[in-house]
Structures are given as structure tokens and as C-alpha cells.
A and B are shown apart, each in its own frame.
Chain A
Amino acid sequence: MPTATIPAPPLLDSLPEGSVEVVEGLDQPTWIVRRDALAQVARQLRDDPETQFDLLLDLCGVDYPDRDERFEAVYHLYSLPRAARLRLKVPVLEDDPVLPSLIDVWTAADWFEREAWDMFGLRFEGHPNLRRILTHEAFQGHPLRKDYDPARRWILTEDKIYKPNPQPTGSESVDDMFERMTINIGPSHPAMHGTFRVVATLDGEVIVASEVEIGYLHRCFEKMAETHTWQQVIPYTDRLNYCSSFINNVAYCRTVEKLMGIEAPPRAVWAQMILSEFSRIMDHCVCNGSTLVDTGALTNFWYMFQPREEIYGLLEACCGARLTVSACRIGGLLEDLPPDFEARCRHLLETVPEFIDDVDKVVTKNRIWLDRSVGVAAISAEEAVDHGWTGPCLRASGVDYDVRRAYPYDLYGEVDFEVPVFQGGDVFDRYRMRMEEIHQSLSIIRQLLDRGMPDGPYIVDDPHVALPPKEDAYNQMEAMIYHFKLIMDGIQVPPGELYHMVEGANGELGFYVISDGSGKPYRIKVRPPCFPIMASFSHLMQGGTISDAIATLGGLNIIAGELER
């Protein structure tokens, strides 16, 4: 069993007596906090110089129908200055599922609390807008409660659709000469990438208030995960951030491996790193390509999509699929690497930069693009942290936090790469950040290839985890039984809970998994990096024009599959 390697924060003396109980966590320190003390504990954890938990990573509910206190709200915190982590658990009763809202402490809590309300019916007192967020207005019940039937649907009709009418709060800066206009963009609008809806109130051309509505692609990932075996969840993880599905696979499999206390063999880890970095490149290509096409630079879209096609070729050779790869297994890879794996990677290292450089030449110094992006939707480091940002967007605001560097997993501690940081925090810096990261990824891949492919198996040699080779399954009794058991009952994961994170293409991608030893996940919560980023979109649009908003959205790299799961 793994043990916590992350140091526990000091238990502050100033906390109210008996408000916190420290428990042993497998992965990180865990505190059970009494509900009435939560607001105070949270505030002190943020402000005390000994703790400084400035980043709220995730908040989710968990349902334990057999316990007296049926629900638990789980907070994952991170401290950037101290590189510390902490999990807070707050149990609440079924009859009284009320907690204090923590929006005043971390702005990021806003949407997370709405989600916990939507999914579990936890009420957050003091939340200004506790509406459903992922499901629709005609929905009844709270779907992630254990007693909710996974297939029970509710039909939404046109008359029930929520009609937002955002109004500015402070009226002082508003020019009364103009008539205000409220316009609706999306959900089926190309600039909204097909799945978001923004309602903006304009004063002249300036957005004075806006509301963002999501949930149009809520595909119930977390509920589906609870009704399938541990391996069967892998294809679902592909479809979270489908622009870089391989990274999701790796993140999920690593999490389960850690919980089981097994380790993937070196060959698998090596290949997973290479393919993850290629996926990061693809993701950044889509993001920058679509930002540019949204601002009118169509040609770059074609340029940026070509490297993707080339990388798809590699993925296809490894697993047969292009986009939704499902190429990882718990404990290793789906199958051994193709014989020309290294040659293909080397070829890509030569072809991909050409396309990126072309775009770089056409765009990066282009007057039109600069006018559209420099200084647009800028966000300061403090604000970004307060909103819960991670990943390239946070680094574009000047915060040097990259999971690959802060918690070097796999071989990231052994390769040499830079974590680029920019200071502007605007659309342009987010674009540059991605261009720069593509080069870093290429360099990581090159170093890995130079180390050479490790020999050995591609998946752990454990019949309780890895399927036996097909030939054995057909010809040997024992192998056949293992095969049968693994397919029918799935992998047996010991009881426990764990949070593990990797650097996804758009930020810290975490999986918080709970196993009760029953063969199916008890609860899986994804920490979706773009969720807090999207939550601050209204804030970013404030004071800009509609065209700024369009340019901004593309650069944030919001992937609906991951945002809404």
C-alpha cells in the first residue's frame, strides 16, 4: 500500500476546539472538519502564513447511504507557496444537508458548489445563485445519490428552458445614453464550440453583465463509472478531454494502480509518456487552431490540423483508434508497441515543427492578431489562483505551477524541460504559452527516444490485473479462468480512497477515486481543469466586446466533454 508522501500541514492552534479530526490518508493529509467550523477553518487555512492554501482544486460530494451522516463534502486544497496538499471532509446529515458556502474564501467554489447541489442536493448557505448547473431545469432529484436510477431521464421542453437576464450590479459606470441590449449566443453557435451558452447584456458594444450556462454535454461520466467495472471505465475517460484522450487514460490508470499498489513496467511508462506528450501537442494544436479560426485566420486551422493527422497515424498504429484511443490498461498498455514505433516518432519529430513554425511565422507577429489578442481578457496571477486556474492559462498569468515539475511522476524527474511562464495573462500570452509548450513537449519526446525503448513486458505480469495472452486463454485451463474472471468480475481493487493528478493539456487533471472493494468504483470524481476556468469566463468578458469574448473563449481551451463530464 502506498503511504502519504505529502507532508501534513500544521494543525493551527487558533482553530476552534474539536473542529478538526486528523485522519491517515493514503495519498495526502486528510482532515475531517465539523460543519459549523468549516468557514473559519477554510479562511484560516488560506490566510495563515504557515498553511497558505490559496488554490481550491476541487469540491465534490460523496454519498454513503449506510452512514448516520449520509453525505460528505470533500475539498481538495493546494498551497502554491508551500507546495502542500490537504483534503477536507465535511460530513452532513441527510435531513439537513447544509454547509456554509466558501465563495468568500475561494471564488472557485462558486460552480463547484452548484455542481454538488445539482448532483447530491447539498445546499450551500450564502451561495448567491445555487441553481442546477449540469442537468436541465426540468430535472428532478439528484442523480449521483446512490438511490437514483442511472437511466431515469427527464424530458426538457422549450417552455421550461431557463431564460437568463444578467444585469450589472453596480450601475455607476453604465452610460445611460444607450439602450441596453441582451443577446444570446449558443448553445449551437460555432464560436461557442457547440455546447456553451452565453447571455450577455451590452451597453453599446461593451459587455456589462453576462451569464454562462453549461451542461449541454453532461454525459453522466461519474454515474456511468459507478455502474461499470474498473477496466470498463477506461473508454469513458477517453471522452473527457477528447482532444488529448491518451492523457486521461494515463491519469486514470495511474490512479487505480496507486490505489492497488502496483506499478506499470518501464516500457509502458516510457511509451505512455511519449504518447502523452504527443497528445498534449495535438491538444494545443486544436486550441490554437480554433482560436485563430474564431478570430478569422482560417488558414492556420488547416496548418494546425495537419500535425494532428500525422500524430493520429502513430496512435492508430499503437491501438487502432485515432481519437478515442483507450490504449492504456490498469498496469500497462493495451498491447505491445508496433515495431516501427521509434521510427514513427522520429519522423513526427521532424514533420510536426514545420507546421507549427509556419503558423508561428504567419501569426505571432501579425498586426491583426496582435490587435485582437494583446491585453484582451487579461487576468492577474492572484485572480487566476483565486478562481482555481491551473495549467497553461495559469502559467500565462505568471504562476509557475506545473504538476510535471511540482510532483514529477513517471520519468518527468529525469528529463530536462522548461516550464515556460509569461506575465501578461491575456489571450496573446495564452496562445504563446501553447506554442512554447509544443516545443517543450517535442524536446521531452526527443530525450525519451534518445534514452532508448526499455525492454521487457508492456503490462504487469499479474493474472489478477492483466488479461492473459489470447493464445493461452484458448489453450490453457488456468489462463482461461483468469480471463473469464477478469472479464466478468473485473479487477478487484482494495478498499480505500486516493487522489492522483497529472498535468493534462489544460491543467491539473486529477482523479479522486473511492473503492469499497466490490469490483466497481464506489465513486470517481474527475478534477476537470477547465471547469474553474470556464467559471470565470463571465468575469473575463466583463468590460470587453463580443469579439473579445469570442477570441477569449478559444484560448481558454474549454473542452465540453471534460467540463461537463
Chain B
Amino acid sequence: MWIYEKKLQYPVRVDTTNPTLAAMIIEQFGGPDGELSAGIRYLTQRWTMPTNQGKALLTDIGTEELAHWEIIGTLVWRLVKDAPIDKIKGTPFEAHYVNHGKSPFPHNAAGEAWTAGYIQSKADPIADLHEDMAAEEKARATYEYLIRVSDDPGVTDTLRFLRQREVVHFQRFGEALRILQEYMDNKKYY
């Protein structure tokens, strides 16, 4: 089960009102390599993960990704909440605004709605862990692109934190893969 903790994982600071940047950051709210995809992917793969190490990691990293999803939604919200309509008109956020107002919504930066087609769960732990490692690297790459386009120092600081988490998650999934391979080798012999 889950219990909500009334705090963000990272002390988010946003220095500007910037609907254009908000529209780009939304990539990680509802894009293929975003935090929602990550959370749902890992939490869904748990039922068919045979090792305890893998079960624990999918649970804890999946949960952390949902905390990141909350951070991304907070960045988007803070970047637009004080924007008057003339600061929204003509920006890439305008198309989002006419449907969702200032609410974050899980679609990618190009406006495509989030879909479970972004994730996989194969009941094949080797395939799943490889997918997870690739997902972490793709998320890292996306954060690097976002850091390049960010012109808000507070937002950049949070993006750097999130990028770093993807590096750590990749490392942990790699260890889980090695443990899984040993587990499967042992099963063959006994």
C-alpha cells in the first residue's frame, strides 16, 4: 500500500514565470521517458520479478519516481501560476492552456497524451531489467536536454537533482540484473 507524505523529495525553487519552459518540462510529466512512465513501469513489473532484491528495488524506485512526478508537476505549476494571459499567448503553453488551463496534464511536450504503450512488462525479468536500465538512460538524456533549454536557475537546480537520480537508479538496476543472472545460473545447476 501507499501512504502520502506531505512533503516534496527535493526543496524546489522556481525563480521565474515562464510558460514556455513549463511546456517543455511537461515532457517529464507525461512523456515516454517521464516520471509517470517510470513509476508505472517499475511498479507493474513487481509481480513477476523473482528475486527479493529486484522486488525491493522495483517497489522503492517506482515509489521514488512518483515523488519525482510530483516535483515535475510542481515545477510546471509554479512556472505558470502567476502568468497573465498575454504572457501565455504565443508561447508553446498556449495549446495546453486552451484545454487544461494552468493544470499540469500528463502529455508530452508536443501535446501527445500519456499512454501505457510507453511502458512494458514482459514477465521476463531479464527483459524487464534491461528495459528499466534503458529507461533510466533515456530519462537522463531528456533531463540533459531540459537543462540545456532551461533559463530559470531554480528549475535547473531541480533538474540536475532529477538527472542525478536517474544515474543512481541505472546503477542499482544494473546490480539487480547481475544478482538475477546469478540466481538464474544457480537454478540451472540444482
Do A and B belong to a common assembly? no
